[in-house]
């Protein structure tokens, strides 16, 4: 296990300490095992679980949230956070509805959704990188701002009557049971995986998360990288807004209410350190699958939602605590 | 390797379970009661009614479910899992009349009976909607509640919400239509408390001073009725002025105990859950069809007649008084 250590001295690890090369593998492995266990348990407990169409329906429980979680994971690795993501969905969806009222077709609607996301990301990024506000404060503020605009525009009204071609994103299937949303999710997972783990930009994100002063002195343009991450997060919220609006076929200001915390949960469950500097996209993908399967499996058993939240909370604490407990037990034995 | 083996075991077991459920002939009719959110007394009471209907029908299984918070997205996840289980019917009180439509349409495409109750779904997303009552029945009930306590006739005043409240205005209009049935009752004034407790209280004080012979106050608003009962009690007019209208048992229990309100009305959630289950059962079994003009049996409640929008009203609002307030005040 310690073989890999020290053999690549200039490599900055994806995890905080050198020994964690092992933990990286074990974290994803642990999640994978939890995932497999839940899959098997679901199959045994419910006769309805192992049906292609049902599993396909289940993917809608996490695809939109996961799209945003990829970008938020990178942001958290860089030591920042964006809590306004769900509010961006609301604003983007509302503006798409407004565009619809003015006769926009599907391409324009998608454009409006993505552009709104980008603009919201730009506002968040400006507040954090130009004005130097802490991202948690800035995005709590914009969270109220974006959703507030949505409420002002819509009140207790709703936009509906989206064109049939627009339903493709949230209700269409690419092939057999593979929905377009699942395809978008998979493509984004690969794209973010490459961006974070295989590019210079991804390296810089880790460096900033570990020590942004050192990063700045090493010639990394810290604020520029952070701005790009906020733009990416905004854009992904826009993509999710297009998918969710298409799936619901309507817009209300309460759309995606409370998603920001579910997304952060997904990221943390995926092994991304909330303190920044470590984590992987594979972990987030696995966490999304685990959360999706848990909620769907418990749903099939008609377990009340309250119990589901308790289960997710316990899972989160469990998955985070177990490796630490193991480490404690090991060091205890060594001493 | 071992995971693959367990997986295979899971598969075979699941397949055998699937097989048995498909073969069994006397499968229960599974009706899902989807509510806005769990942990709400109103819906718990509706579930009691649904269970009562299930016991009466026999061979019916009620799946009482809903999201933790009142979101459309949460209800859609619930609907997807119900579709996956292949339930026979979904009866939903929707958090959003539009957002749940695509999911419910998918349910209908897969042969599931879909109806809405309490809080409706847009017509394209359900086969029919059951309202707890209708404007006409509410209008008739509020004046009857006052008149029943006044066999000799007398003066009544109306304490409404705002002058622009659509619901209250329709109910008062419906009430006025049947005033001919109560020749000895005179409506002396209509005042507006704007659904604010303090303004409703002051307006009631004004009524008491302006009309010394006032016998009853009708408040077709849950805020107004509580404030009016308080104002009557504070003015020492209990026994002289009866406050009635529409209110919530939990908020009105004190007024009924003190005698400021002899009776009031609101929908009965138990009956609503019962009637919803009866309708869902008959539609799922195919012995009734949801189409304009259809009459669908609701067991002990009677028959629901569908209008042009496939909507029906269950019954007159349920009357709460000293005999049943104890039972319902903890429910909603």
Q: Which residue of A has its CA nearest to B78?
A: A299
Rg (CA), chain A: 21
Residue A25 pLDDT class (50, 70, 90 cuts): low
CA nearest neighbour of B6 among A50, A283, A51: A50
- Any bridge partners for residue B59, and if so which? none
State the pLDDT at residue B116. 94
Contact B80 A60 (CB under 8 A): yes
Contact across the interface for A58 and B80, Cβ inside 8 Å = yes
Do residues A302 and A289 lie in contact, with contact meaning Cβ atoms separated by under 8 Å?
no
Once rounded to an integer, what is the mean pLDDT over residues A323-329? Answer: 79
Q: What is the DSSP letter of B299?
A: G
Q: Which residues pair with A159 in a beta bridge?
A: A251
**A22 pLDDT band (50/70/90 cuts)?**
low
Cα separation, B277 vs B285, whole angstroms: 12
For residue A227, which phi and psi values (nearest 5 degrees)? -60, -45
Residue range A121-146: mean pLDDT, rounded: 96
Residues on chain B touching A254 (C-beta within 8 angstroms): 71-72, 96
Read off the pLDDT of each residue in A321-334 and give the average, rounded to a whole number.
75
Q: What is the pLDDT of residues B139-182, one digit of tens each?
A: 999 999 999 888 888 999 999 988 777 778 888 999 999 998 99
Contact between A49 and B14 using a beta-carbon 8 Å cutoff: yes
Taking alpha carbons only, the member of B116, B136, B111 closest to residue B309 is B116
Same domain, B148 and B249: yes
Say whether pLDDT at A20 is over 90. Answer: no
Give the CATH number of domain A20-327; options: 3.60.60, 3.40.50, 3.30.1490, 1.10.3470: 1.10.3470
Mutate to test the interface with B, among A40, A51, A53, A57 (most CBs of B within 10 A): A57
Q: Flag whether pLDDT at A21 surpasses 70.
A: no
CB of B14 less than 8 A from some CB of A: yes
B122 half-sphere exposure, CB direction, 13 A CA radius: 19
Model ipTM value = 0.78
In a domain, residue B81? The reply is: yes
Distance CA B57, CA B45 (A): 19
With CA atoms as reference, report the closest residue to A181 among A167, A196, A163, A198: A167
Q: How far apart, in whole angstroms, are the C-alpha atoms of residue A5 and residue A261?
A: 36
Would an 8 Å CB–CB cutoff place B6 in contact with chain A? yes
Chain B residues lying within 8 Å of A299, measured CB to CB: 77-78, 80-81
φ/ψ region of B259 (left if φ > 0, alpha if ψ in -120 to 50, else beta) reads left
Using a CB–CB cutoff of 8 Å, tell me whether A62 touches chain B.
no
Asked if pLDDT for residue A334 goes beyond 70, the answer is no
The pLDDT value recorded for residue A317 is 85
pLDDT value at residue B11: 44
Residue A302 has what pLDDT?
Answer: 82
Q: Say if B7 is an interface residue toward chain A (CB within 8 Å).
A: yes
Task: Write out the two tokens for A225.
Answer: 């990288």
B166 touching chain A per CB within 8 A: no
Q: Are residues B121 and B44 in the same domain?
A: yes
Instruction: At B219, give phi and psi (nearest 5°).
Output: -120, 100
Residue of B68, B84, B99 lying closest to A250 (CB–CB):
B99
Contact B13 A60 (CB under 8 A): no
Other C-beta atoms lying within 10 Å of the C-beta of residue B35: 28
Residue B289 placed within a domain: yes
pLDDT classification of A9: cutoffs 50, 70, 90: low
Best to test chain B binding among A43, A94, A156, A310 (most B CBs inside 10 Å): A43
Q: What CA–CA distance (Å, rounded) separates B80 from B85?
A: 9
Domain shared by B74 and B103, yes or no: yes
Give tens-digit pLDDT for A184-237.
999 999 999 999 999 999 999 999 999 999 999 999 999 999 999 999 999 999
pLDDT digits (tens, 9 = 90+) for A164-183: 999 999 888 998 889 999 99
- Entry field: residues in chain A: 335
Comparing CA positions, the residue from A17, A82, A77, A81 lying closest to residue A208 is: A77
Confidence (pLDDT) at A27: 79
Distance from CA of A51 to the nearest CA of B (A): 8
pTM of the model: 0.78
In this prediction, residue B275 has a pLDDT band, given cuts at 50, 70 and 90, of very high
For the purposes of burial, counting CB atoms within 10 Å of the CB of A214, is it exposed (0-12), middle (13-18) or buried (19 or more)?
exposed
Using an 8 Å CB-CB cutoff, list chain A residues near B2: none
The answer, for A48 touching chain B at a CB cutoff of 8 Å, is yes
Q: Could you tell me the CATH number of the domain that includes residue B297? A: 3.40.50.2300
Q: Which residue has the higher pLDDT, B208 or A332?
A: B208
Both B201 and B140 in a single domain? yes
Identify the residue whose tokens are 């999706």: A292
Judge whether B17 lies within some domain. Answer: no
Residues in chain B within 8 Å Cβ distance of A257: 69, 71, 73
Report d(CA A143, CA A240) in Å as an integer. Answer: 16
Flag whether residue A258 sits within 8 Å of chain B, measured between CB atoms.
yes
State residue A213's pLDDT score: 93
Q: pLDDT of B75-116, one tens digit each?
A: 999 999 999 999 999 999 998 888 999 999 999 999 999 999
Q: Which residues of B touch A60 (CB under 8 A)?
A: 76-77, 80
Q: Closest chain A residue to B86 measured between Cα atoms?
A: A48
* Preferred mutation among B63, B73, B74, B107 to probe A, highest tally of A CBs within 10 A: B73
Using a 10 angstrom Cβ sphere, with 0-12 exposed, 13-18 middle and 19 or more buried, the burial of residue B224 is: buried
Task: For residue B120, give how far its alpha carbon lies from the nearest alpha carbon of chain A (Å).
Answer: 15
Query: What pLDDT does residue A94 have?
Result: 97
Do residue B195 and residue B281 come from a single domain?
A: no
Q: B297 in helix, strand or coil?
A: strand
Q: Per DSSP, what are the bridge partners of residue B187?
A: B156
CA distance A92 to A256: 11
Nearest-CA distance A5 → chain B (Å): 30
Nearest CA in chain A to B80: A57
- Answer yes or no: is pLDDT of B230 > 70: yes
Domain holding B112, by residue range, is 27-131+269-315
Radius of gyration of chain B (CA): 24
In contact, B206 and B199? CB cutoff 8 Å: no
Structure confidence by residue, pLDDT tens digits, B30-54:
999 999 888 777 888 899 999 999 9
Give residue A158's pLDDT: 87
Is 50 exceeded by the pLDDT of residue A41? yes
A26–B contact, CB cutoff 8 A: no
B66 touches chain A (CB under 8 A): yes
On whether residue B15 sits in a domain, the answer given is no
In angstroms, the CA B48 to CA B42 distance is 10
Chains A and B form CB pairs within 8 A to the count of 122
> From CA B127, how far away is CA B105, in angstroms rounded?
10
For B14, nearest residue in chain A (alpha carbons): A47
B119/B139 same-domain check: no
From CA A64, how far away is CA B256, in angstroms rounded? 51
Q: Are residues B147 and B123 in the same domain?
A: no
Q: Which residues of A touch B69 (CB under 8 A)?
A: 257-258, 305
Note the pLDDT of residue B41: 77
Q: What is the pLDDT of residue B95?
A: 87
Task: Report yes or no on B118 lying in a domain.
Answer: yes
**Is residue A306 over pLDDT 90?**
no
The answer to whether the CB atoms of A248 and B102 lie below 8 A apart is yes
pLDDT beyond 80 at A320: no
| Judgement on whether residues B48 and B123 belong to the same structural domain of the protein | yes
Round to whole Å and give the CA distance between B99 and B76. Answer: 8
Suggest the residue from B85, B111, B124 to mutate for an interface test with chain A (most A CBs closer than 10 A).
B85
pLDDT digits (tens, 9 = 90+) for A232-264: 999 999 999 999 999 999 999 989 988 999 999
pLDDT tens-digit series, residues B127-151: 999 988 888 889 999 999 999 888 8
Domains held by chain B: number: 2
**Shared domain check, B106 and B141:** no
Mean predicted confidence (pLDDT) in A316-326:
77
At a CB cut-off of 8 Å and minimum separation 6, what does A260 contact? A83, A84, A85, A86, A87, A143
Contact B3 A40 (CB under 8 A): yes
Residue B8 lies in a domain: no
- Residue A263, token pair as written in the block: 């997304």
Cβ contact, residue pair B96, A40, below 8 Å: no
Residue of A nearest to B3 (CA): A36
Same-domain pairing of B181 and B72: no
| Average per-residue pLDDT for chain A | 88
C-beta atoms of B71 and A258 within 8 A: yes
Contacts of A53 in chain B (CB under 8 A): 84
Strand partners, B33: B64, B91
Please classify residue A235 by burial: count the beta carbons closer than 10 Å to its beta carbon, then call 0-12 exposed, 13-18 middle and 19+ buried: buried
Distances (CA, A) of A194 to A103, A114, A199, A202, B17: 38, 22, 7, 8, 42
């Amino acid at each position: 296990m310690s073989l890999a250590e020290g053999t690549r001295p200039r490599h900055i690890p994806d995890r905080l300490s050198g020994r964690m090369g092992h933990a990286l593998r074990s974290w994803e492995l642990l999640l994978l095992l939890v995932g497999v266990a839940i899959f098997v348990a679901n199959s045994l407990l419910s006769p309805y679980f192992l049906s292609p169409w049902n599993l396909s329906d289940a993917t809608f429980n996490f695809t939109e949230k996961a799209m945003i979680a990829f970008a938020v994971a990178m942001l958290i690795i860089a030591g920042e956070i964006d809590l306004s993501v769900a509010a961006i969905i609301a604003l983007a969806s509302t503006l798409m509805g407004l565009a619809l009222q003015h006769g926009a077709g599907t391409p324009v609607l998608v454009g409006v959704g993505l552009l709104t996301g980008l603009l919201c990301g730009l506002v968040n990024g400006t507040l954090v990188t130009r004005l130097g506000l802490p991202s948690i404060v800035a995005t709590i503020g914009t969270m109220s701002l974006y959703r507030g605009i949505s409420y002002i525009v819509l009140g207790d009204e709703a936009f509906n009557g989206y064109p049939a071609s627009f339903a493709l994103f949230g209700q269409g299937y690419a092939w057999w049971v593979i929905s377009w949303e699942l395809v978008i999710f998979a493509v984004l997972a690969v794209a973010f995986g490459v961006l974070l783990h295989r590019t210079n930009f991804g390296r810089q994100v880790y460096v900033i998360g570990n020590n942004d002063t050192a990063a700045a002195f090493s010639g990394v343009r810290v604020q520029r990288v952070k701005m790009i991450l906020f733009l990416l997060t905004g854009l992904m919220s826009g993509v999710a807004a297009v998918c969710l609006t298409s799936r619901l076929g309507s817009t209300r200001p309460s759309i995606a209410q409370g998603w920001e915390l579910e997304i952060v949960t997904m990221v943390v469950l995926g092994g991304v350190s909330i303190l920044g500097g470590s984590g992987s996209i594979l972990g987030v993908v696995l966490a999304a699958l685990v959360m999706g399967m848990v909620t769907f499996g418990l749903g099939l058993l008609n377990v009340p939602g309250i119990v589901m939240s308790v289960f997710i909370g316990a899972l989160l604490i469990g998955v985070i605590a177990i490796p630490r407990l193991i480490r404690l037990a090991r060091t205890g034995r060594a001493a | 390797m071992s995971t693959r083996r367990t997986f295979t075991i899971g598969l075979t077991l699941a397949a055998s379970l699937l097989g048995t459920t498909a073969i069994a002939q006397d499968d229960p009719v599974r009706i899902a009661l989807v509510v806005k959110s769990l942990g709400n007394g109103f819906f718990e009471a509706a579930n009691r009614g649904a269970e009562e209907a299930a016991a009466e029908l026999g061979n019916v299984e009620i799946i009482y479910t809903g999201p933790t918070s009142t979101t459309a997205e949460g209800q859609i996840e619930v609907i997807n899992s119900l579709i996956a289980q292949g339930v026979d019917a979904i009866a939903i009180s929707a958090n959003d009349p539009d957002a749940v439509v695509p999911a419910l349409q998918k349910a209908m495409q897969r042969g599931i009976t879909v109806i809405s109750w309490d809080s409706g779904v847009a017509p394209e997303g359900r086969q029919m909607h059951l309202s707890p009552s209708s404007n006409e029945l509410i209008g008739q009930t509020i004046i009857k509640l006052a008149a029943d306590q006044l066999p000799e006739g007398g003066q009544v005043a109306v304490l409404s919400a705002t002058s622009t409240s659509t619901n209250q205005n329709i109910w008062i209009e419906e009430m006025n239509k049947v005033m001919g049935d109560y020749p000895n009752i005179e409506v002396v004034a209509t005042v507006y408390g704007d659904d604010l407790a303090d303004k409703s209280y002051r307006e009631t004080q004004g009524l008491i001073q302006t009309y010394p012979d006032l016998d009853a106050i009708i408040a077709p608003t849950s805020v107004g009725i509580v404030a009016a009962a308080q104002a009557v009690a504070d003015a020492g007019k209990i026994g002289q002025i009866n406050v009635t209208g529409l209110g919530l048992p939990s908020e009105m229990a004190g007024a009924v105990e003190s005698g400021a309100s002899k009776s009031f009305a609101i929908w009965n959630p138990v009956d609503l859950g019962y009637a919803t289950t009866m309708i869902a059962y008959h539609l799922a079994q195919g012995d009734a069809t949801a189409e304009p003009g259809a009459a669908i049996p609701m067991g002990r409640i009677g028959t629901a007649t569908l209008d042009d929008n496939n909507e029906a009203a269950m019954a007159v609002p349920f009357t709460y008084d000293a005999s049943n307030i104890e039972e319902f005040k903890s429910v909603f």
